[in-house]
Amino acid sequence: MGHYTPPIRDMQFVLHELLEVEKHYAPMPAHSEVSRELIDQVLEEGGKFCSQVLFPLNRSADEEGCTLSGDGVVTTPKGFREAWKQFVAGQWPSLSCDPAFGGQGLPHTVQTAFQEMMNASCQAFTMYPGLTHGAYQCLVRHGSPEQQRLYLPRLVSGEWTGTMCLTEAHCGTDLGLLRSRAVAQADGSYSISGSKIFISSGEHDLSENIVHLVLARLPDAPPGSRGISLFIVPKFLPDGEGKPGARNAVKASRIEEKMGIHANSTCQMEFDGATGWMVGEANRGLVAMFVMMNGARLGVGLQSLGLMDAAYQQSAAYARDRTQGRALTGAKAPDKPADPIIVHPDVRRMLLTQRAWTEGCRALAYWIAFMIDRYEHDPDEEVRKECTDLVALLTPIVKAFTTDNGFQSTVLAQQVFGGHGYIRESGMEQYVRDARINMIYEGTNTIQSLDLLGRKVLGDNGAKLRKLGALIAALVEEEGTNEAMAEFINPLADLAGRIEKLTTEIGMKALQNPDEAGAAAVDYLRVIGHLVLSYLWARMAKVALAKADEPFYAAKLTVARFYFAKLQPETSSLMRTVRSGAASLMELEAELF
């Protein structure tokens, strides 16, 4: 199945040369002692764990999957329990968590880089701690002091894991339709009843307890999403010492048979009068759960980032080794019966597309993680506000744009392998299968597009988008007369101007017919995704130009040029389809489909 080499050098480029994280951490009391040396050490050790412990499990765990016994007990694939013990022993679950709860207090950006490597090594395994960290974040923001004291240290240590239980068979995106019920008990707890489906990591044998965060409705709750409350429902009820006690009335009734991520136990969960405790205020559960949901959307983007990097590495290695045919310009390996397929222009197109998406989306993921660090810890209130708005704007882009590109990249990697990519032995077909879910769960990519256009852009009359525009304008102003940067700055400036006009047009049309926004949303998000990547690739090119005589930076410039020449022009056709409007989509009567 090949091998995985953690992309430490490119991670260092993004963190230290593009974002210059240590310079900005210096005035933050929480991160003032975080040095480049510390970050690099964490990346090196994290890379060893991922490549040496997790990656060797990826294929065998996919083939074995999880098993459910008749009494609702789930067994994870061979090697997972041992890997979890090493994961916990290395204190990896606590990396970016608050020291008040046993965490190491490292920046979110460092956690993001480690999470990318975990996903590249084994996405299904990474989902277990990923959901746990989401539960941790939710309880940090909305849990009571008592709940935080009981649950957070155990989630941080990896002794316990977490889930989020939202989806029901009749409602996915529209959570206002959920039917799970919560009835108050005399002791202050609640009796939770209902059925949830598609619950990632819902039941397993990795940790001694599982903390379910469950959305349910009180008897007197108002209809719709305004009547949803959030509850902690542990698998085992904690005893007086906080240790797992009696088994709660919650169990897995089935494991979903699914296309990919077989080694993650995606369960249907039954709550039969289970004991739970409310998190936050009654009927305000969706607000609390959005902390976890937004974190999960960024996490899903990292899942695809990891997959596309692992797939790229293996397809590039294969293209250098596989011999088929001769180069159109003459034999490049005359000592062999054929040339390596990397000599062919279209193979190079596929490889460069993968690489441009991978390196561009890595910069995007780390940039938004860096802004999360800044809105949480920067001493400047204006910086915190700007970063908060930009994170809100970019979250649906990280989720949708990265996962769309991730799926495309894994398919291209499979194509490079040809017939060998279609069979199991190479591992490429698993990357394709695993990558497909990322475009669907945690809010489909269409939902992300509607959120971006409807809420994040039109909803505030473009205020957040203008903040992104101001960053782009500043870069254009700074480099506009630099001839060496013209090939990057000119297409960036042109795209920014065209998007400003396009956004105004969509807004005016949507005032007359809201379906116009719905028809434009998916293509519009992709255009904005290109705007963000154009900005980041231009910034990366600026750094690389100063050291262009070194191979690493020369390669970075080549990939930047490829992005602007071959990928960014997609925006012109996308803008044309946006402007075509909703009529051709909506005029056909439903019964004629």
Mean pLDDT of the region 399-406: 98
Distance CA 523, CA 585 (A): 14
Q: Per DSSP, what are the bridge partners of residue 254?
A: 268
Mean pLDDT of the region 34-59: 98
Query: For residues 137 and 95, is the Cβ–Cβ distance under 8 A?
Result: no
List residues with catalytic annotation: 442
Burial of 359 (0-12, 13-18, 19+ CB in 10 A): buried
What is the pTM for the complete model shown? 0.96
Distance CA 397, CA 553 (A): 27
Distance CA 18, CA 367 (A): 9
End-to-end CA distance of the chain: give it in Å, rounded.
43
Q: Which fold has domain 160-285?
A: Butyryl-CoA Dehydrogenase, subunit A; domain 2 (2.40.110)
pLDDT above 90 coverage of the chain, percent: 95
Query: To which H or E segment does residue 234 belong?
Result: strand 229-234
**pLDDT category of residue 1 using cuts at 50, 70 and 90:** low
Distance CA 338, CA 381 (A): 62
**pLDDT category of residue 171 using cuts at 50, 70 and 90:** confident
Residue 507: name the closest of 586, 453, 582, 452 by CA.
453
Mean pLDDT of the region 439-452: 96
Residue 153: the pLDDT is: 98
pLDDT surpassing 80 at residue 505: yes
pLDDT above 70 coverage of the chain, percent: 100
Residue 53: the pLDDT is: 98
- The dihedral sign for the CA sequence 138, 141, 146, 152: positive
pLDDT surpassing 90 at residue 172: no
Residue 291: the pLDDT is: 87
- The dihedral sign for the CA sequence 300, 402, 175, 172: negative
Judged by DSSP in three states, 144 sits in: coil
> Which two structure tokens, joined as six digits, stand for 437?
């879910």
Distance CA 216, CA 218 (A): 7
Residue 501: the pLDDT is: 97
Angle between helices 145-157 and 108-142 (to 10 degrees): 150
pLDDT tens, 187-227?
A: 999 999 999 999 999 999 999 999 999 999 999 999 998 99
pLDDT tens, 232-275?
A: 999 999 998 899 999 999 999 999 999 999 999 999 999 999 99
Task: Give the CATH number of domain 8-67+74-142; options: 1.10.150.530, 1.10.10.10, 3.30.450.20, 1.10.540.10.
Answer: 1.10.540.10
Residue 27: the pLDDT is: 95
Distance CA 527, CA 539 (A): 19
pLDDT tens, 446-503?
A: 999 999 999 999 999 999 999 999 999 999 999 999 999 999 999 999 999 999 999 9
